[in-house]
Structure 1
Amino acid sequence: MAAVIYGVCWTFRSNGVHRNPQSGLIPLAKGAWAWLAPGNSWGWSNAGLISDGEESLLVDTLYDLELTDEMLAKMRDAEPLANNIDTLVNTHANGDHCHGNELVCGAEIIASSASAAEMAELPPEAMAAIVAMAPDMGEMGRYFLDCFGQFKFEGITFTPPTKTFEGELHLQVGDKPVELIEVGPAHTRGDILVHSPKDRVVYTGDILFIEGTPIIWEGPVSNWIEACRRIEAMDVDHIVPGHGPITDKHGVAAVRQYLEFVHEQARQRYDAGMSAFDAAKDIELAEYSAWSDPERIAVNVDSLYREFRGEQAASDVFELFARMAALAGYDVATP
């Protein structure tokens, strides 16, 4: 299934993936924009642009060079300052928010210290290698290709941050103050929020998945819940998530409530002695089952079980994808 945005063909899985009601470059305030992907599933991420005076700041790049190049072209059409972006902020380490960094030539690239370390662990060439192997991996490989096979990972040059920070970092874009607020580890090890108070905008990265299921790669979940509460307390008009449509405080609360619900349900089953995968299969998602990619419950419960046990080491990612594939209806054997 495909949609055409600005002459580019975007292809999606057809198993209940949500389409954003708006996509492309969306003006939010004078000198502030959101770039919205046409869907909210794996890899279809959002970004943002802040400009003022003679300066500009880009929030995130996209999963491959073609997608990033198209986004940058539309930004340059709307804002001349985007021709020479001064600062690029990566909200976290996942490739769908940083693989296009090489196209933002000459910019200072900023991320949290934890994100910078994590980025190097799954560079674009690693994703290209996994996609190449996927056809030989049976039904799990088919699920992986359905998630990621539409992106072009070959030929991307890994371009890491040139500046890192911990905690908070205060920037200026012309006369606009911009606050970088580290709220991870949560979704990943070093998630940050990008808040432009003058524009009354916050770009949340993957602290928010709107109408899509959040995925807890890192945790602890308490940090993520606190990050949602922090966004809910902000005096903003526009909340741009990492995936899905622009939202408001109700959308933030829905993400927080999902995390609280899954934490409670997982804890009950952990205390009852159920395995993580049996617990994931047993949890009745109710209204959350309508969100895209509900099979991510397998990763979320596994992460919560590691948290309950006090374990630091991450689970095998291929095993986690096998569990998600099984929950999504693929014929995958799981222990």
Structure 2
Amino acid sequence: MAKAFASAGDLEEKEVSFTEIGEGLWAFTAEGDPNTGVIIGDDSVMIVDAQATPRLARLVVEKIRSVTDKPISHVVLTHYHAVRVLGASAYGADQIVMSEKARAMVVERGQEDWDSEFARFPRLFQGHEEIPGLTWPTTSFAGRMSVYLGNRRVDLMQLGRAHTAGDIVAYVGDQNVMFTGDIVEYHSACYCGDGHFHDWPGTLEAIRAWDVDAIAPGRGDALVGREKVNAAIDSTKDFVTSTYRSVAKVALRGGSLKEAMAACREVCDPKFSDYAIYEHCLPFNVARAYDEARDIDTPRIWTAERDAAMWAELQD
């Protein structure tokens, strides 16, 4: 029997957790679904990653209202992917912030990504009719910027390419806590279809160098304590390097994409097959690693049509 496309067969709602990872800092997680960070300042609240739809974003707002009645002033988007950004309208924030590179990627491939992810994640896009359109930032930056929520300072930084070319992290220095988006995952597969394999390990080490006390990763449980933080960085690095090296060996000798898929399974299945969205990510990861090994630096744009063709080619 053919495998269900991407996450099309994953229709069960996930159990939500809302975990405090520092004073006034929270991680909204849901068993491997995309996470959202919450930073409560003196006078307002910042959201880190918005969820896929206004319907899902309202679940985050419900949790926020259980701990504070302060208005939501900022939505920070760690990258451009539809499952992270299309719920932004539900927060009523005055400011939507992303990197200049991420904004450029919305211009270049935002609608294609929306169409692609809509087919991959039918459960996450329930209620999609409420989405008003592509999410555009009111503010963009290159390198680094600081946002003040009263006296609380949040540093937004580009530490390097990884999950996408436009990734940013949010760092709250008064608690030594970082929100990493999908640069770091915990017991969840990394989606590498728009990734940069050569750069990703170095970006992880740049995060490690901050020696933070807690991380809200892109997917998976909140990570409190340096032991958990470093274990998640290590496992993410292992996932990325294991994927790339196994595929690159095939690509560089002229082997086929399907041979690369088999080689990747041989290395990665024993270590990662129980990770959330592993089967979903694997074909996209192999295709991107195969391209990067052949010196295609910029990930090719995924469309609903390209998704389906690639999936059919790589499945048994």
TM-score, normalized by length of structure 1?
0.79
Q: Name the aligned partner's letter for residue 310 of structure 1.
A: D
Q: How far did residue 87 of structure 1 move? A: 1.6
Q: Name the aligned partner's letter for residue 307 of structure 1.
A: E
Q: Match for residue 4 of structure 2?
A: none
CA distance in 2 between counterparts of 1:323 and 1:257 reads 25
Structure 1 runs not aligned, ≥5 long = 1-10, 135-143, 330-335
Q: Match for residue 243 of structure 2?
A: 262
Q: Matches of residues 5-24 of structure 1 in structure 2 within 5 Å?
A: 13=9, 23-24=16-17
CA distance in 2 between counterparts of 1:167 and 1:24 reads 32
Q: Match for residue 56 of structure 2?
A: 67
Percent identity of the aligned residues? 23
Is the 8 Å Cα contact of residues 202 and 240 (structure 1) preserved in structure 2?
yes
CA distance in 1 between counterparts of 2:308 and 2:159 reads 26
Q: Name the aligned partner's letter for residue 309 of structure 1.
A: R
Structure 2 runs not aligned, ≥5 long = 1-6, 224-228
Determine if the alignment matches structure 1 residue 26 to structure 2 residue 19. Answer: yes
Q: How far did residue 105 of structure 1 move? A: 1.7
Is the 8 Å Cα contact of residues 18 and 292 (structure 1) preserved in structure 2?
no
Q: How far did residue 196 of structure 1 move? A: 0.9
CA distance in 1 between counterparts of 2:13 and 2:93 reads 35
CA distance in 1 between counterparts of 2:36 and 2:27 reads 6
Q: Name the SS for the 1:207 alignment partner.
A: coil
CA distance in 2 between counterparts of 1:253 and 1:172 reads 32
Q: How far did residue 211 of structure 1 move? A: 1.3
CA distance in 1 between counterparts of 2:112 and 2:260 reads 33
Q: Name the SS for the 1:218 alignment partner.
A: coil
Q: How far did residue 271 of structure 1 move? A: 2.3
Determine if the alignment matches structure 1 residue 49 to structure 2 residue 34. Answer: no
Is the 8 Å Cα contact of residues 89 and 111 (structure 1) preserved in structure 2?
yes
Match 1:193 to one of 154, 169, 172: 169
Q: How far did residue 204 of structure 1 move? A: 0.8
Is the 8 Å Cα contact of residues 183 and 190 (structure 1) preserved in structure 2?
no
Residue correspondences, number = 296
CA distance in 2 between counterparts of 1:125 and 1:258 reads 23
Is the 8 Å Cα contact of residues 183 and 224 (structure 1) preserved in structure 2?
no
CA distance in 2 between counterparts of 1:265 and 1:99 reads 34
Q: Match for residue 155 of structure 1?
A: 130
Q: How far did residue 321 of structure 1 move? A: 4.4
Is the 8 Å Cα contact of residues 276 and 305 (structure 1) preserved in structure 2?
yes
The alpha-carbon distance between structure 1 residues 273 and 315, as it changes in their structure 2 partners (threshold 3 A), is farther
CA distance in 2 between counterparts of 1:103 and 1:314 reads 31
- Greater alpha carbon shift after TM alignment, 61-70 vs 232-241: 232-241
Determine if the alignment matches structure 1 residue 169 to structure 2 residue 153. Answer: no
The alpha-carbon distance between structure 1 residues 309 and 124, as it changes in their structure 2 partners (threshold 3 A), is closer
Larger RCO (alpha carbons 8 Å, 6+ apart): 2
Q: Give CA-to-partner distance per residue, 1:103-152, whole Å, 9 cap, x none.
A: 2224211100111122343349953x985xx6xxxxxxxxx4xx324522
Is the 8 Å Cα contact of residues 232 and 253 (structure 1) preserved in structure 2?
no
Match 2:110 to one of 114, 118, 122: 122
Q: Match for residue 73 of structure 2?
A: 86
Determine if the alignment matches structure 1 residue 314 to structure 2 residue 300. Answer: yes
Q: Give CA-to-partner distance per residue, 1:72-126, whole Å, 9 cap, x none.
A: 1220221121xx2122101111112111111222421110011112234334995
